[in-house]
Every structure is written in C-alpha cells, then in structure tokens.
Amino acid sequence: MKLQQLLTTTALCALTASMASAGQLVIKGSDTLGAKLVPQLAEAYKAANPGTSFQIAAEGSTTGIAALIDGTAHIGMSSRRAKPTEMSAASAKGVTMKPTIVAYDGIAIIVNAASPVKGLTRQQVEKIFTGDITDWSAVGGKPGKISIYTRNTSSGTYSDFKELAMKKRDYAGGSQKMAGNEQIAAEVGKNAGGIGYVGLAYLKAAGIKAVPVDGITPSQATVRDKSFPYSRPTFFYTNGEPVGEAKAFVDFTLGGKGQAIVSQVGFATVK
Amino acid sequence: MSKTSPLQFAVMLTLISAGAAISHAQDAGALVDKLVKKGVLSSQEGEEVRADMMRDFATQTSAGKINLSGSITEMKLYGDFRLRYQYDDREAQIAAPNHVDQRSRWRYRLRLGADVAFGENWFAGFQLQSGQNSDSGNQTFSNGFDNDGIFISKAFFGFKNDWASVIAGKQKNPFYTTDMVWDPDINPAGVVERIDFHKLFGRGLAGPSGDYGTDGKSMAPTEVHGDSSWELSLVAGQLFYQDNNEFNIGTDFKTDGYLFVEQLIGTYHFNKDVSITLAPAWMTFTASHLTGLRNENSFTDTSNVLSTTTTQTTKTDRNRLVVNYDAAGNITGGTLQPFVVTATQVSSPTTTKVGGGSSTGSTTRTVTTDQVRSGATVNLTAAQAKAQAAALGLAQTGPANGQTQRDIDGVAVTTTNTVTLPSIAGETRKLNIITAPGDISFKIGSLKTKVYWDFAYNVDGEGRFNDIYQLRTGNAATDAYRGYKTRDGIAWLAGVQLGETKKKGDWSLNFNYRESGIASLDPNLNDSDFALSELNTRGFKLSLAYQLADVVVVNLTGMMAWNLDRNLSGGRATGGSAIAQDNAINVVQFDVNVKF
C-alpha cells in the first residue's frame, strides 16, 4: 500500500471510529431508501438497541457513495450500482466498496388518478420521457400536453431509469426535476397531464395511479420475480465488510424484522 | 478485493480466463446475471462478484480510469499512419521548356480522430492530421529531424434519425464520387443533409439497411437477401469554399465562394453479389476569386494584375498672379498668391501580369487637381506688377477697374508608384458541373469485382475556357487563340477493381483510364496525385495492394498522364505552377499503411 493510501486509510479509520464511538450511525445517500425505509428500520433498531442514534441524510445515491468514499458516513445508501469511476476513486482513498442488497425496488410509472390511460408499452414510456411523444392523445389519453416529472441528476433512480427505460437516451428538454419521490407523486397528483416515476413505496400517495407496463403491474411480487421491466436491487455500501454498529444494522435489515419492514414499506424483500 | 468466497473467486477466474478479460468486466455483468438466474450464485454473491470485477476494471486497466462526460454514450477512437515514397517527373510545356523536372520524396501521413455519440440522435467528431496545412495530409520528412505540425482535418456535429441526417462542420466527403472529381483527402466544410428514402418508406422497399455511423454517413447494408432490392438516397451539401470580405469595395475579392452539390444515389441489388449504383449530381459554384488553396498545383489566375506602376507628375510652388487696373486700364498693382498642388495628372499606367508581359495605358484615371493655399499673399507695387505681367507675356493695360490673373507653374516633380495587388489562386466562375459516377459490382468466382466510372460535364465550359484560360497553340506571343473544343468541358473515367483488402492475405488490383478537359473540373478539388492535379490531361492509374496483416496494407501505385492537347501555351492556365503547365506527368508511389 502506498504511503498516501496508508495515511488516508488511517485517517478514515480514525474518523469512522470517532463516529462509532459517539454511538451514532451515519447513513447517507438514496432518497428512495432514505425517505421511508431506512428511518423505519432505524426506529425499529433503536427500539431493540437503546442508546444508538442515527444521522440519516437522503439526498441521492451519488451523495451516499461520495460520503462513504470521503469517510463521512458508515453506510452509503444507493439505488444503483457504483460506477467504475467511483470504484477507482474509492480505491485511491483506500476504501473498498462492498455492496449489500437490502431490498428490491420497482420504478413504477405514475399518472394522475383521473387519467384515462390504462397502460403503456415500454416503447411508449421511452418515447414519452425522451420527448418523442408530447401529447396524451398519442397513447390513448385525452388530448393535452404531457408534463414529465423526473428525479434530479444526483439520484440513482434518475440514471437507473435512463438505463432501464430509455435506452440511455436523454430526458425530454422540458422535463421537471424533483428532489424526491414524494415531490414527484405530489406534482403528478396535482397535474392532470402529469407523468413521473417513483419507487413502489410511494404508490399510495394521493391523486396518482401506477400504470401497467407491457401489461405488468408494478408490485412486490412482479418486482421480486423480475417480470416487471423496471426492477432493480437497492444497496447498502460499506467500506469492506461492515463492522461494529454498521454490521449490526445491516444484519438487522437483512433479518426477519428488517425484511418485514422492507415489505411493509412497499419494497420487495431480498429472499 | 474484498473478502471473497472460494465459489466467487472461482467464478471470477472462470470469467476472466474464458476470455472476458478485465477490460471487459462490464460485459461480464451479463454472465453474472445468468449465473444468478441459474442459481449458481445468489443475488448477493453476484453483486459482490460484479463489484470486485468492476473495481479491478476501474483500478487495473487504463480504460477504467477514463472518465468520459456523462453525455457521451459512445466513443470511437481511430487513426492511421502511412509511410510513402513518391517519385514524379514532369515534362514542361514548350512555352516554358525546362523539359523534365524530376523529384523524389519520403513522406508520411498521420491521422487521429474521434467520433462520439450523444444518445441515439446527436453526434460529433474531430480528426487531427499531419500535412503542412494541406488537404492531402502528406508531410514530407523535415530536414535536420525538425518536428512537424498537426492540423484539424475534421470538426463537425450532427443529428440523425432512422432515415435522415444533418451534419454541420468540416466533415468526411459525403458524396458518392471518384478521385477524378474529388480528392479522397479533402474533407469539405459546410452543411450536408441526407435522406434515405428506402428507410423513410420502410425496409420492405430496400431490404435490410445499415445504420448510420457516428460520423453520420449511411453505412453499407448489413446484409442483402437473395431477393432484389432498391436503395435510394438524396445528399445535398451547402459547402463553404472561400471567404472574401464583402466590404472590399472596388476590389475583385468581395464575394464569398460557395459550392452547392445535390446528388441522388440509387443502388439496385440484383442479388447479394450483384448490384448497380448510379449517382447523378449537380455541382455549382458561386463566382469568387480564390486565395490560399492547398493543392500542389493551384489554379493561378495568370491574367490578373500582379502590380500596377503609375507615373505621377506633381508640381509644387505654384503661384497665382493677380493684376489690378485703374479706370484708364493701367496697372496699379497686384498680388502674388502661393499654392501647393498635391497632384496634377496620372499618366501612362503600366500593368504587369502573372503570365508575363506588360501593357501600357490599359487603364486611365482622372485625378482631380487639388490646390491648397499656402502662405501669405504678397502685395505687389505697380512696378512689380508690371514686371511680373511682362514676364508672363501679359499686356500692360487691361479692363478699366478690372483684374487679370495668371497661374505661374513651379517645379514639376515626377514620381513612380507601384501598387501590388493580392495574388489569386483561382476562380470559381463558370463552373456548373453535371457528374454521373456509378459502378457495377459482382463476383468472379469468389473474387469481388467492380467496374466503375465517372463523368463530368461543365455546362459553362466554353465560357470558362474563353473568359478565364485564353489558351493559345504553341507560342503565347504570336499564335492565335485556340478555340474551345467540346472535350475541354468534359472529363470521364472508366476502371475496374479486382479484390479488396479487408483482412490479412487479401489483395486488390485497381486500374482506370481518364481524360480531364481543361474547363471540365475545379482543379482545386480533383486528386492531387494523378497528374499532380493538372487538367488537360489523360492517362492511366494502376494500383496493387496486399494486406500483410489485419492492420497493415502495402500499396504500389503508378500514374502516367499526358496532355489532351499538346503544347498549349499562354493564357491563364499554362504558366509556372498553373494547372496545365506540363505535357506529361508520371507519378510512382509506394505506401505502407497501418490502421488502428
């Protein structure tokens, strides 16, 4: 190991130890995981392990991976896999990116509850989000402009959706970027011409409905058996094998109680 | 690498040793998915294997360390290097009888480029190449091991969909053509649109079609079924050729030069081995003077004035005498008023022309006399005024209470001024060309064979011949002008190609014959190798190629050319370095090409 890496690793270990010694688990990253699932997991974990505190920041998968590399988080939540450049950046700082699948999620297409659209094909989804189709009449809806709501660029869902649903094409120029799933659901619920995407956990929001894609309705079952086309694993990233409080929390998440919460929130369990 | 189970480690080794090298770790993701699906690995184990391979890819390979912009979805780097030995000799025109001029050179050409795609529709690219600011890319090895320059030979962006494309910038030649009309090394600049009608109206019309490359050019069909099929495309180019300043009022360089090309490319596949392609086109140039063009034998407009010498007479110290008279008509006094004359007359302008000779008085110019009072008026007494009047021959009496005035010339000074005008490398005037290239492709046994041709007719050829070239027969000083012949406005080529070089061991033979009338083509666009781009030529080109390795091709080419009309002289095309200065031109090239 080079001297620079050795010093960096030492500094990170010291920082991590100081965070752990304070009894606080720092978790940063994905809004998909961090808005609902992880806070509920944390509450349940705290109930079973009094004295543990959590600092949770859900600002997008990119921020979680960056925080893990910088040593400012014990766990990086991510709804996408780490990129090669993130892997190399981590290695340069002596951090070994270890992914752990904690749940499966489906990226559901949502429209306003009043919309007559009963389903879309994958090709129609691609054309809507890339701007090839701009009017609802082209896909069986009432004539009117389509308003597109997406996540912002630091979101793992933003890039995952491009890869899963858009053949990596760019989003339509007029699409509006939202900070989180809840904001997308809220906007689509208010806009009769709105369309967006959210994780399974956010399908109960008012004023929206999920549309089947190629006839497959997004659900825990169709996500788990991967028949829903926009299914993906979600991750906790740690620096190597998790240790200490982080290991205990990861084990708790993968355990029976944790997976029950996973299912209760709306994600598909890992088993 | 993180802690890895024996099974995961074995899977990794298997993936790598099976040919999925670390550099292909991203592709191995599909294999991991398959192993997970078959239950060989759990999902978690699959993710760990994937992460380990991604980490190795990112940290142990050069490619993994390249961080491309997020907007780039595909990037292709390419290049080639060519080492060339060239010998050429030229037999000059009788009017400039230097007889045989021989030359040999060691040259090279290096090209490095990148094509990038931004999603499905947008793309861009650039290419850098050697070449002494030339469109050929050839760089003669420098003396004393000096370093050589590099230039931008492509820079473009474009938009494409399934059946059309638009590309703007300096780009690969988009037209179906031969080197009789377009030098393959020229990358024209401008905007080019292409519509593939067979794709627009469905693949059923044309059979399976190739996709666009990232440089926007339609690729060859990926496969042609046994059934016959059509392809039909329209290519239109608005090309930028010469930038002159529109505000250079009063000079010849005040209009820009543009080249507009429209071409219809039709191919009919009789079956997968036999096809015919016809590609009629229309090329029209806006009239403009050219400068700084890059072909070896640029078109030098020899009738244009290189310099104008004028003789100008200026008289200085000029005075005006005014004499006053009394009621009896006798001189009572007067004044002497000094003036300076800045210019009086321009006479005998002499022009010198590029093609030699000069003429006097071919232009006339009127120069306004401009007199300016300088210094104080001198009052004269009656005696002084009488003396001045007597000296100038004026009478001693005059009109009662009147005045008489007479100018007194000072010293005449003659000066000579020479004004040098910018040189001109050609004119795009009267170039409206119909071209009709094509080919018939088939196989002789397993040998791919192609019979090909090209044809060009400048519908304004007679005007270009008479207005610009003004050729004589044999002696520029004494012979009459040689009249325009139909073949002066026509160029044609016919050839055959046997074989092609695509992989190690391949060979090809290419032979063609061509004739190029002096007013048929733009001499700045045609091939700079054959006849060194001169016009009024005919001759053969024979090329043999053999592929030593998948990336190495050796090529031997010989070109013999001689004049369509021997001993043309005078006018604007036959002077030194002009486009018809020789009676014979022979060129031999030996190339070694490495592509990567």
Q: Is A88–B64 a contact, with Cβ atoms under 8 angstroms apart?
A: yes
Query: Of the candidates A88, A97, A170, which has its C-beta nearest B51's C-beta?
Result: A97
Residue A271 lies in a domain: no
Judging by beta carbons within 10 Å of its beta carbon (0-12, 13-18, 19+), is residue B326 exposed, middle or buried?
A: middle
Angle at B145 between CA B142 and CA B151, to 5 degrees: 50
> Residue A160: which of A228, A93, A106 has the closest Cα?
A106
Structure tokens at B429: 């005037």
Judging by beta carbons within 10 Å of its beta carbon (0-12, 13-18, 19+), is residue B137 exposed, middle or buried?
A: buried
The alpha carbon of residue B225 is apart from the nearest alpha carbon of chain A, in Å, by 28
> Is the pLDDT assigned to residue B365 strictly greater than 50?
no
CA A29, CA B138: separation in Å to the nearest integer?
55
Q: Which of A35-44, B12-21, B328-337 has the lowest mean pLDDT?
A: B12-21
Domain co-membership, A85 together with A160: no
Indicate which of B1, B2, B48 best probes the interface with A, i.e. most A CBs within 10 Å of its own CB.
B2
> Is the pLDDT assigned to residue A242 strictly greater than 50?
yes
Domain co-membership, A200 together with A112: yes
Domain co-membership, A66 together with A40: yes
- The whole-number pLDDT of residue A22 equals 47
Q: Is A169–B44 a contact, with Cβ atoms under 8 angstroms apart?
A: no
Query: Of the candidates A84, A170, A233, which has its C-beta nearest B58's C-beta?
Result: A84
> Is the pLDDT assigned to residue A129 strictly greater than 60?
yes
- Per DSSP, the three-state class of A34 is helix
How crowded is residue A160: how many other Cβ atoms within 10 Å of its Cβ?
A: 23
Number of domains observed in the structure of chain A: 2
CATH of the domain at A83: 3.40.190.10
In degrees rounded to 5, what are phi and psi of residue A123?
A: -65, -40
The alpha carbon of residue A230 is apart from the nearest alpha carbon of chain B, in Å, by 15
What's the mean pLDDT in B324-353?
69
Structure tokens at B453: 């041709």
CA A139, CA A116: separation in Å to the nearest integer?
10
Domain co-membership, A88 together with A138: no
Domain B74-304+424-595, CATH among 2.40.160, 1.10.940, 1.10.3470, 1.10.1760: 2.40.160
Structure tokens at B356: 């030699």
Query: Buried b / exposed e across B487-518, counting CB within 10 Å, b at 16+?
Result: bbbbbbbebebebbbeeeeeebebebebbbbb
CA A42, CA A23: separation in Å to the nearest integer?
13
> With contacts defined as CB-CB under 8 Å, which chain B residues touch A241?
2-3
Domain co-membership, A207 together with A261: no
In degrees rounded to 5, what are phi and psi of residue A233?
A: -80, 155
Domain co-membership, A128 together with A220: yes
Domain co-membership, A119 together with A168: yes
Where are the strands (E) in B342-475, listed by range?
345-353, 358-360, 371-373, 378-380, 403-408, 411-420, 426-427, 432-435, 438-444, 447-458, 472-473
> Is the pLDDT assigned to residue B380 strictly greater than 90?
no
How crowded is residue B571: how many other Cβ atoms within 10 Å of its Cβ?
A: 23
Angle at A215 between CA A211 and CA A220, to 5 degrees: 70
User: How many CB pairs below 8 Å do chains A and B form together?
Assistant: 62
pLDDT tens for each residue of B97-156: 556 788 999 999 999 999 998 877 899 999 999 986 667 888 999 889 888 889 999 999
Residue B303's alpha-carbon distances to A222, B96, B110, B258, B430, in angstroms, are 83, 17, 38, 23, 16
Residue A199 lies in a domain: yes
pLDDT tens for each residue of B454-474: 999 999 999 888 777 767 676
pLDDT tens for each residue of A29-76: 998 899 889 999 999 999 999 888 999 999 889 899 999 999 999 999
CA B483, CA A89: separation in Å to the nearest integer?
76
Half-sphere CA count of B579, side-chain side, radius 13 A? 33
The whole domain housing A63 covers: 3-104+233-265
> Is the pLDDT assigned to residue B537 strictly greater than 90?
yes
A162: nearest CA in chain B?
A: B119
Q: Find out whether B117 and B158 touch, Cβ atoms under 8 Å.
A: no
- The whole-number pLDDT of residue B1 equals 40
How crowded is residue B484: how many other Cβ atoms within 10 Å of its Cβ?
A: 19
Domain co-membership, A91 together with A168: no
A101: nearest CA in chain B?
A: B44
> Is the pLDDT assigned to residue B578 strictly greater than 60?
yes
Domain co-membership, A36 together with A66: yes
Domain co-membership, A33 together with A111: no
- The whole-number pLDDT of residue A18 equals 47
Neighbouring-strand partners of residue A178:
A151
Domain boundaries, chain B: 6-65, 74-304+424-595, 305-420
How crowded is residue B206: how many other Cβ atoms within 10 Å of its Cβ?
A: 22
What's the mean pLDDT in B538-542?
97
Confidence of residue B363 (pLDDT cuts 50, 70, 90): very low
